[in-house]
Every structure is written in C-alpha cells, then in structure tokens.
Amino acid sequence: MPINTEKELEERLSRPTEADVAATAALDGDLIILGAGGKMGPSLARLARRAADQAGAKKRIIAVARFTNRDVLSQLSSEGIETIECDLLERRKLSSLPDAGNIVFMAARKFGTTGSEYLTWAMNTYLPGLVAERFRDSRIVAFSTGNVYPLQPVKEGGARESTPVDPQGEYAQSALGRERMFEYGSAKWGAPVVLLRLNYAIDLRYGVLVDIATAVFHRRPIDLSMAAVNVIWQGDANAACLRSFAHCQSPPLILNITGPETLSVRSIAEEFGRRFAVEPLFTSEEMPTALLSNATKAHQLLGSPTITPREMMDWIANWIKRGGVMLNRPTHFQTRDGKF
C-alpha cells in the first residue's frame, strides 16, 4: 500500500514486529535515546514506546536532544515518550540525566564539517568519550557509519566488519574516533557496547533514493562516479538497533547495518525514470569502487530487513508525485573524497 501522509509514514516507520516487541520486553531497565531529535531518533523512540506497550512492559522511553524543532518535542511528549532538552556537550547537563540500563547514542555531525572541523570532532569524538564515562554501567548501542571503511570494489559485495578501516576526510576520521572512545570506555569500565556502522537509512523525505528520485523528477543530472549504494528502510534500521541490545559485549561488537543488495545508481535512476515517465540525465563516469558494506553478520544475528528497495522506490515515487514533504537534507552520497 502507498504511504500518502506524514502521519501514515510515522506510523509505518514505528510499527513494531513481534521480534521488536520481544526484544524490547527483554530489555532490563529503561531506555534513553541520546540525540533523539534528528532524522531517525523520533521514529526510534516511537518504535520503542509502541513495542514496550505491546509487550506490557513498564519502561521509561526517554528522548534526549536540543529539540530545535519544537514540534518533535511536543509530538513525542504526547505519545508517552519522556523528553529532556539537553545540549549533551554541556557536561553538567549530561551528568544530570537519569540513569538507565540501556542507552542509544545517535548524536552526530556530518554536513558542514568543512570549515567547522572542531565542532564535528567535538560531537563525534569528544562527546562519545563523555557518554561512555557517564553511562559506564549501562548497555550502549551507538550508531556509527560505513564511512569508516575505504571505498570497495563494486563487484565484491562491500566491506565486512573485518575489513581494515581507512576513513577518508575529517568526518569519517571523527566517526572512527567515536568508535574508539566507546571501545575505550568498554575496556576501562567493562561497559557492554554494540557499534552499528550504518549506510544508508531511507525515509520518504530524505535518503539516497530520495536524492536520486528528485533529481530524475526535476530533470537534474545524476553523478554516476559513486556507481553503487546500499540502503535500508529506516524502520528496519531502528529495529536492528533495538535488537542489538541483546548482543552488547565488551569489547564492543561491530555490526554493519544496511540492506543485502548492491544497487546500481544508474539502475535506480532508470527505475524512477519509468515511474515518472522521464529519461534520466547522467554525468561523470561510473567508477569501479564505491562506499559499500556487507551486512550478512547483522542479518544473521538480528534478522533481515523487511522492506525491499523496490517497495521503497514505489513509495518514494508516489510521495514525490503527490508533493510530499521533504526534509531537504541531501546525503551527498556522490562524495568520494570524504569532504562534507
């Protein structure tokens, strides 16, 4: 079925499966989501709340962020999710947060790094060190990124967790710093941790597929130099996060989070071209390497994604045709030099 409104979209993104309900019921203690005001945080908080309610589990679901978008704060509060306004970089405020058995860390900075590198390092490396110390007695699931890997040969199926990291550019370097700080906290205090290397989460309002679809729809050329991508429905990425708590360990477990398919950017554009009755425009040559991850390990541990790329493309095409709301946050997936 197509998704026609933001209300329908938010419901679909936060609809728990039986596995999500079981995973949430099994959590020992409450759940705090740090950095819950971004693209994924609100739907993750809703998913956790709905899963806990369906399980009959009396758990506090606490969303922590600066909440510059006041509508997000009020919406989450109205849905039984506790909200705390907090600049996490202020140590006093971080220290005053309640204790909880389970912490999701998703505070991060990527775009705008060039020219403000210091702030990116503060958010992506310094803050994780503070969080690892503050919540040393909790289980921590921290979002990272596939950008920590070097570009991979398209024909070989993507980086595995055992692939040596080689981050390009200061964003990716600081993201690896985030991982190292949680590894340090786990080694020093024994905190059980899972690190989720994500690329790329898809909503109908943002994401790689949306970037390509809108370019086709508005007849803008598509850069083919990054010839292939991986994607995962945001709801599936959030579900993977909740299910990861059962696998927290010290030293941290690293999991790639994405879909099983290696998708051709050219083919994606042509698929949207057929849906829009538009001939896609292309620029640049397809390179033999791309930012790709192999998530077989996560699929075996946590379950496979439930939404396919074809379903996502159908939903996105319908959304764009209807003039659906967009977040206007390009992924810049074409970037090959690590400069964001």
End-to-end CA separation in angstroms for the chain:
36
Percent of the chain scored above 70 by pLDDT?
100
pLDDT digits (tens, 9 = 90+) for 152-187: 999 998 999 999 999 999 999 999 999 999 999 999
**pLDDT value of residue 115:** 84
Bridge partners, residue 325, by sequence: none
Q: Per-residue pLDDT for 110 more than 90?
A: no
Tell me: the pLDDT tens digits for 217-259? Answer: 999 999 999 999 999 999 999 999 999 999 999 999 999 999 9
pTM comes to: 0.97
In DSSP terms, which residues pair with 257 in a beta bridge? 198
**Average pLDDT along the chain:** 96
Distance CA 301, CA 281 (A): 40
DSSP string across 20-73: HHHHHHT--S-EEEETTTSSSHHHHHHHHHHHHHHHT----EEEEE--SSHHHH
Q: Per-residue pLDDT tens for 124-145? A: 999 999 999 999 999 999 999 9
Residue 222's pLDDT is: 98
The Cα–Cα gap between 80 and 270 comes to 43
pLDDT number for residue 339: 87
Q: What is the C-alpha to C-alpha distance for residues 95 and 79, in angstroms, rounded to an integer?
A: 26
pLDDT over 90 at 75, yes or no: yes
Q: Which residue has the higher pLDDT, 338 or 6?
A: 6
- Structure confidence by residue, pLDDT tens digits, 39-67: 999 999 999 999 999 999 999 999 999 99
User: What is the tally of helices (H) and strands (E) in the chain?
Assistant: 13, 15
Whether 127 and 231 have beta carbons less than 8 Å apart is answered as no
Strands 253-257 and 152-153: unpaired
- CB atoms < 10 A from the CB of 80, how many? 14
Structural domains of the chain, ranges and CATH numbers in brackets: 6-201+233-259+292-306 (3.40.50.720)
Which of 45, 109, 30 is closest to 75 using CA atoms? Answer: 45
- Dihedral pair phi/psi, residue 43, rounded to 5°: -70, -30
CA–CA distance, 334 with 291 (Å, rounded to integer): 9
- The least confident of 109-113, 160-164, 203-207, 235-239 is 109-113
DSSP code at position 307 = S
Identify whether 280 is preceded by a cis peptide bond (ω within 30 of 0). no
Phi (first) and psi of residue 222, to 5 degrees: -110, 125
Kindly give the interhelix angle for 6-13 and 234-244, rounded to the nearest 10 degrees: 30
Rounded distance, CA 265 to CA 275, Å?
A: 16
Phi, psi of 289 (to 5 degrees): -120, 155
Among 179, 178, 189, which Cα is nearest to 139's? 189
CA distance 173 to 303: 30
